[in-house]
């Protein structure tokens, strides 16, 4: 049995806490939001945004960050990406040298263009870091539906420890040393998922979405490889796997926001209706900036930024993509 704290009681953090507790781990679930912890404590059978899930009685709930970090073997950072740096900065004084932190948040910080694990490493340099990602909707993980993910760590011992902590009959965990590639795949696919939702909102059909997803993973892999990620990573669980599930599922906040925009709503209206953090919107500008920095052509990302932030219609954006000059399908990392 391992002592594990999950920091962040949103849907993903709560789902992972349930998965770990069901395996028999000693789990603490922390949130800075008192009403979240109060709601979970009041009724463990009606978990917000996780229908059908039950929070095991063994999970300890707290709003005390020092208490959550103290003497834990593994800390799981599951706060939404806009709050990762702030949370990591607050955690720093409670984290001991060599403590393992597993990042499960997906995103790229707009100002610095750092991934979430890079941010945690910058704020807490003494920690041993890992990232866990893959096609894993919280709604399904919380109901013990078969799922496979990948954990990445530069230190193979850390990857193995995290793999063993999370691995269960219905939660298969692979390992990798490509931390950057895993994070880029998990973050950039949210931008493509917005586009997939827009395609569905326009009722364009399966042909269009299949083309979008295929060309989307081409953009992700071009940029990721140029930045130093392994191209094979983007065709694995944290790349194409996560892209498929996020582009096709009604569980996906990114797809749902894109769908509303495709139906004619503004970005602000769509975000208000979804009512939760839509990571693809937060990541879109950073993705565009990375493309410019590394001189990688990202036409889908460019069009999504025009739709989200510059008022371009989705139909016009689609036509912009279709009318691009013809070229070879596969160009590796060259363009």
**CATH tag for 180-322 (out of 2.40.10.10, 3.40.50.2020, 1.10.1040.10, 2.60.120.560):** 1.10.1040.10
Average pLDDT of the chain is: 94
Contact partners, residue 191, CB within 8 Å, separation at least 6: 254, 280, 283, 284, 287, 300, 301, 304
Whether 334 is catalytic is no
pLDDT reported for residue 92: 96
- Full-prediction pTM beyond 0.85? yes
**Which DSSP category does 325 fall into?**
P
Q: What is the rounded CA–CA span in Å between residue 7 and residue 69?
A: 9
> Per-residue pLDDT for 235 more than 70?
yes
> In this predicted model, what pLDDT tens digit does every residue of 285-304 receive, in sequence order?
999 999 999 999 999 999 99
Measure CA 318 to chain center.
25
Nearest to 162 by CA among 331, 333, 14, 4: 4
| Contact criterion met (CB below 8 Å) for 147 and 251 | no
- Of 92, 93, 160, 189, the active-site residue reads 189
> Per-residue pLDDT for 23 more than 60?
yes
User: CB neighbours (10 Å) of residue 123?
Assistant: 18
Q: Mean pLDDT over residues 255-276, rounded?
A: 95
> In this predicted model, what pLDDT tens digit does every residue of 81-136 receive, in sequence order?
999 999 999 999 999 999 999 999 999 999 999 999 999 999 999 999 999 999 99
Q: Mean pLDDT over residues 252-270, rounded?
A: 95
**Sequence ranges of the chain with CATH classification 3.40.50.720:** 3-177
**Sequence ranges of the chain with CATH classification 1.10.1040.10:** 180-322
Nearest to 235 by CA among 125, 87, 134, 117: 134
pLDDT reported for residue 332: 52
pLDDT reported for residue 276: 85
> Per-residue pLDDT for 45 more than 50?
yes
Assign domain 3-177 to its CATH superfamily. NAD(P)-binding Rossmann-like Domain (3.40.50.720)
């Amino acid at each position: 049995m391992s002592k594990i704290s999950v920091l962040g009681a949103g849907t993903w953090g709560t789902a992972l806490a349930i998965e770990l507790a069901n395996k028999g781990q000693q789990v603490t679930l922390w949130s800075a939001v008192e009403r979240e912890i109060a709601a979970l404590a009041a009724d463990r059978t009606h978990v917000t945004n996780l229908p059908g899930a039950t929070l095991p009685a063994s999970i300890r709930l707290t709003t005390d960050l020092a208490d959550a970090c103290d003497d834990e073997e593994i800390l799981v950072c599951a706060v939404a990406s806009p709050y990762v740096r702030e949370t990591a900065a607050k955690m720093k004084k409670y984290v001991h040298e060599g403590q393992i932190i597993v990042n499960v948040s997906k995103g790229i910080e707009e100002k610095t263009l750092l991934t979430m694990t890079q941010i945690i490493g910058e704020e807490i340099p003494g920690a041993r870091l890992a990232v866990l990602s893959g096609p894993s909707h919280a709604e399904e993980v919380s109901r013990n539906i078969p799922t496979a993910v990948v954990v990445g760590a530069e230190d193979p011992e850390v990857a193995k420890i995290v793999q063993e902590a999370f691995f269960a009959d219905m939660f298969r965990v692979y390992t990798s040393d490509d931390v950057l590639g895993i994070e880029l795949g998990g973050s950039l696919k949210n931008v493509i998922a917005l586009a997939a939702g827009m395609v569905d909102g326009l009722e364009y059909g399966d042909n269009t979405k299949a083309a979008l997803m295929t060309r989307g993973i081409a953009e992700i892999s071009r940029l990721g490889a140029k930045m130093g990620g392994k191209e094979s990573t983007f065709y694995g669980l944290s790349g194409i796997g996560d892209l498929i599930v996020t582009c096709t599922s009604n569980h996906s906040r990114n797809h749902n926001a894109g769908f509303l925009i495709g139906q004619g709503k503004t970005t602000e209206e769509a975000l208000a209706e979804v009512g939760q953090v839509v990571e693809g919107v937060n990541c879109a500008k950073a993705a565009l900036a990375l493309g410019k920095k590394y001189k990688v052509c990202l036409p889908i990302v460019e069009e999504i930024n025009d739709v989200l932030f510059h008022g371009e219609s989705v139909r016009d954006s689609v036509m912009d993509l279709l009318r691009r000059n013809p070229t070879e399908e596969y160009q590796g990392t060259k363009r």
